[in-house]
């Protein structure tokens, strides 16, 4: 991406600045404050969308062709990298098959809250009959 943003005239953003922005974005997205992963990811996506729109609008004919080729290369790279899995706050990401099985009067889940299986050791005393 730094090559795409850093090419051309001196008025364009130098590639070092783009690399710094990418590093900053990566740090923000990979280490968000608890409960804010989605918000941080959305904000980063919006900022980079705007940067790409500005880049495309500012490109001239020959520059636009070179830019299009670079963007196709970037998309191909992202598709290869995107074959992994990820999850936002509270999510679980699984790449491939997942088999969860309960056996012998047990419980099984990928994520499980409070569970009581069988009769509690000290069951509560029943209250007065209601009727």
How many Å separate Cα 71 from the centre of its chain? 21
- Give the pLDDT confidence score for residue 42 in this predicted structure: 92
- Give the pLDDT confidence score for residue 107 in this predicted structure: 74
Both tokens assigned to 93? 């990401």
Q: Hunting for tokens 């918000």 — which residue is that?
A: 39
CA distance 37 to 43: 10
Q: Does residue 94 carry a pLDDT above 80?
A: no
Averaged pLDDT for residues 68-75? 86
What DSSP character marks residue 126?
P
Percent of the chain with pLDDT over 90: 7
Q: Does residue 102 carry a pLDDT above 50?
A: yes
Averaged pLDDT for residues 84-111? 74
Question: Which range has the worst mean pLDDT, 6-10, 46-50, 100-104, 105-109?
Answer: 6-10
pTM recorded for the entire structure? 0.52
């Amino acid at each position: 991406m730094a090559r795409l943003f850093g090419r051309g005239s001196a008025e364009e953003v130098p590639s070092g600045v783009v690399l710094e922005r990418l590093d900053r974005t990566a740090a923000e997205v990979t280490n968000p404050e608890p409960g804010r992963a989605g918000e941080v990811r959305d904000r980063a996506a919006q900022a980079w969308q705007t940067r790409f729109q500005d880049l495309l609008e500012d490109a001239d004919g020959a520059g636009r062709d070179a830019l299009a080729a670079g963007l196709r290369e970037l998309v191909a790279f992202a598709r290869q990298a995107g074959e992994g899995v990820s999850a936002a706050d509270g999510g679980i990401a699984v790449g491939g098959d997942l088999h969860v099985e309960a056996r012998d009067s047990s419980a099984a889940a990928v994520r499980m809250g409070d569970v009581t299986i069988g009769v509690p050791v000290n069951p509560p005393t029943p209250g007065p009959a209601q009727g």
